[in-house]
Structure 1
Amino acid sequence: MVKAAILEQPGNGLVIGEVELADPAPHEVLIDTKACGLCHSDLHFIDGAYPHALPCIPGHEAAGVVRAVGSEVRSVKPGDHVVSCLSAFCGQCEFCVTGRLALCMGAATRRGPDGAPRITRDGGQTVNQMLNLSAFSEQMLIHENACVAISKDMPLDRAALLGCAVTTGAGAVFNAAKITPGETVVVVGCGGVGLAAINAARIAGAGMVIAADPLEEKRELAKVLGATHTIDAAAEDAAKQIIKLTGGGVHYAIEAVGRQASADLAVASLRRGGTAIILGMMPLDCKVGLGAMDLLGGKKLQGAIMGENHFPVDLPRLVDFYMRGLLDLDTLIAERIKLEDINAGFDKMRAGNSARSVIVFD
């Protein structure tokens, strides 16, 4: 039995309880979770904005140590340090074989409806696995294609951030935008994903990196991570300020909040030929679009789920960036907490004043 934070009813927070994990199937990996970041995507499910089968265990930004592997697993072995990734890939579908791993629906990486569940409690009740991981737990039982081995020199509390925030934010820069040195970027929203995008834009050599956020403390944090300029995103003339600052608008606008106003600001900040990349989980009834003149000006709008990652390749490279002092993960961590403090951690997230809270398991 292991402790986990369980979502039983949206809007009522998480309940700490005990669950039991099955033995690994042939292609599964059992991991002792060592650290897990609190992500706003989890909050969408916890507060009921997005539906999910209940009860379930959220959590998807994690790192740990492999305890056991299934009979067919060759990619990792017991004792390996790993980062998990919610975009588990099957390796066989159209998206996988054309190199778009993040778009794989991953059906083949989950147990079928006729199979025994991975997680149970109370003598057999199914506890649903969220986003292929369920990382708010002392252990995870996941498909082998949902984790990658990393250097054991990498601190696992920092490594956890690579599982979502950094993979998404940095991936938007490296994979989706493919920024050319000297191009201009605005990042709307300076939470964990946005700050990671700002850091990556600096690494990529962007000529101007503008951080747009309504909170001054987050704008100041963005400067530490590489922002060359900051804008109050709540200002009525925020887009005009960005256009003036860049002499016509940015080459790339990255939205990292998941709100209608922030997506609209990203689109309004583009220069001719520019691209807006929407990363945030928008309310399900939201629509983002380009006007007729935007289209005539060659502007583009795209999503980039999980930063369009190829995480078996991207994750070790991000670890290398951190170890070489290029990627600043230390600044992203606002606090380290225990699993029992998870609801207080999400309350801080709702307040919106700080960067990442990370659960550290003993």
Structure 2
Amino acid sequence: MRTRAAVLYEIEKPEPYATSQPLVIEEVELDPPGPGEVLVEIVGAGLCHSDLSAINGSIPRYLPMILGHEASGIVREIGPGVKDLQQDDHVVFSFVPSCGHCLYCAIGRPALCENGSRTNMAGTLLSGDVRFHKPDSQRILHYLGVSAFSQYTVVAQESLIKIEKSVPLDKAALFGCAVLTGVGAVINTARVAPGEPVAIFGLGGVGLSALMGARLAGASPIIAVDVLPAKFALAKRLGADFTLNANEVDPIVAIRDITGGGVEYAFEAVGNARVLTQAYRATRSGGKTISIGIPHPKQQLELQAISLVALEKAVLGSFMGSAVPRRDIPRLINLYLAGKLPVDELLSPAIMLEEINTGFDRLAQGSAIRQLLHFS
């Protein structure tokens, strides 16, 4: 079959992307699902900084490729051997397809699945196959096993989590990355307890989701840090007790003043080693710094090494919110339906496929939080 898609052929094109057009809108060929695979029609796809990192070259990828990893959709066809899914099911995508039998899957850490990570890096499905191609048979690679910037996509069944049809399907896309990653970092990685002070550096979709997670956990106070004060009103609505403009104040000094020595947990959701150092220095003795954002591979982290021992401080990585997607996505959706996670607040105006390059301009400028891509 043919499907409309946004294809990345070349990285590091200059901004504005509305002019340079790094994502090319065209029809591509999509093969039917193979064994253990599923054809899904995309209903909602979020524009995320991880996609932007592929466009601007911060995280190099093999090309050509169809990006998009935060998504929801409807099952249209199942391949041989697919279990627990059937036509017309509503699904949210997991951007790490967990194989279920590697070491990390066996110990309950599917976000680190060895086979899923390997095939994600290669741009293939979990089987090693590629289902997108041009009419001349040139392969077009998959992004994180999802490729949601195509109206239809084929994925491994391990990339899908079935959800109830009563859930608003386009909004459900956010639970596949922003909410799972941000809330998961608080609940799964840090395990914040009620009354513990928290700081969140970076108020994009993931950082604001971490803020919601901190409020859900009962953290106090919650301090939100960014360089764009336009985001502070939203941060306050989502539960921030204090907001700090890092261009106007030293966030380390300000956080120590507010808390009497530093926070118990600092979350870095920018993807910048310098900001990660700030977050580390804003924690108190015994505090933990959780790195959520994805920095450029060439960035190096500089810390006072003795503080790790003498102050018993720690730095933790949190990938995909240290989540078990099949467990956590339904739980988070239930919290949303119960009014305890105001995910709708993250939504910026939706866009159509033809507007996708302009959408990434808005994301790069920080003028949008989460834009949902629609195909009709």
Give your verdict on TM over 0.5: yes
Q: Which residue of 2 aligns with 1:163?
A: 176
Deviation of 1:259 (Å): 1.3
Deviation of 1:69 (Å): 1.2
The separation in 2 between residues aligned to 1:68 and 1:40, in whole angstroms, is: 30
Deviation of 1:306 (Å): 0.9
Matches within 5 A, 1:101-250: 101-105=110-114, 106=116, 107=118, 110-112=126-128, 115=129, 117-250=130-263
TM (norm. structure 1) is 0.96
Of residues 328, 336, 341, the one that matches 1:322 is: 336
The separation in 2 between residues aligned to 1:157 and 1:233, in whole angstroms, is: 34
Q: Is 2:366 the counterpart of 1:357?
A: no
Q: Is 2:7 the counterpart of 1:6?
A: yes
Q: Which moved more, 1:311-320 or 1:231-240?
A: 231-240
Letter in 2 for 1:95: Y
Deviation of 1:74 (Å): 1.2
The separation in 1 between residues aligned to 2:85 and 2:140, in whole angstroms, is: 26
Match of 2:350, SS state, is strand
Q: Is 2:32 the counterpart of 1:31?
A: no
Question: Would you say the 8 A contact 1:76–1:148 is kept in 2?
Answer: no
The separation in 1 between residues aligned to 2:334 and 2:302, in whole angstroms, is: 37
Deviation of 1:357 (Å): 1.0
Question: Would you say the 8 A contact 1:65–1:80 is kept in 2?
Answer: yes
The separation in 1 between residues aligned to 2:6 and 2:104, in whole angstroms, is: 33
Deviation of 1:85 (Å): 1.2
Gaps of 5+ in 1: none
Match of 2:312, SS state, is coil
Letter in 2 for 1:283: H
The separation in 1 between residues aligned to 2:255 and 2:230, in whole angstroms, is: 20
Q: Which residue of 2 aligns with 1:95?
A: 104
Q: Which residue of 2 aligns with 1:297?
A: 311
The separation in 2 between residues aligned to 1:175 and 1:139, in whole angstroms, is: 32
Question: Would you say the 8 A contact 2:110–2:323 is kept in 1?
Answer: yes
Deviation of 1:217 (Å): 1.1
Letter in 2 for 1:247: G
Identity of counterpart residues, as a percentage?
Answer: 43
Q: Which residue of 2 aligns with 1:253?
A: 266
Of residues 276, 279, 289, the one that matches 2:289 is: 276
Question: Would you say the 8 A contact 2:181–2:321 is kept in 1?
Answer: yes
Moved over 6 A (4+): none
Please tell me the root mean square deviation across aligned C-alpha atoms, in Å: 1.3
Q: Is 2:30 the counterpart of 1:21?
A: yes
Letter in 2 for 1:17: E
Letter in 1 for 2:318: A
Q: Deviations over 1:178-210 (max 9, x none)?
A: 111111111100000000000111111112111
Q: Deviations over 1:192-239 (max 9, x none)?
A: 000000011111111211110111111221111111111112345210
The separation in 1 between residues aligned to 2:375 and 2:334, in whole angstroms, is: 24
Deviation of 1:361 (Å): 2.4
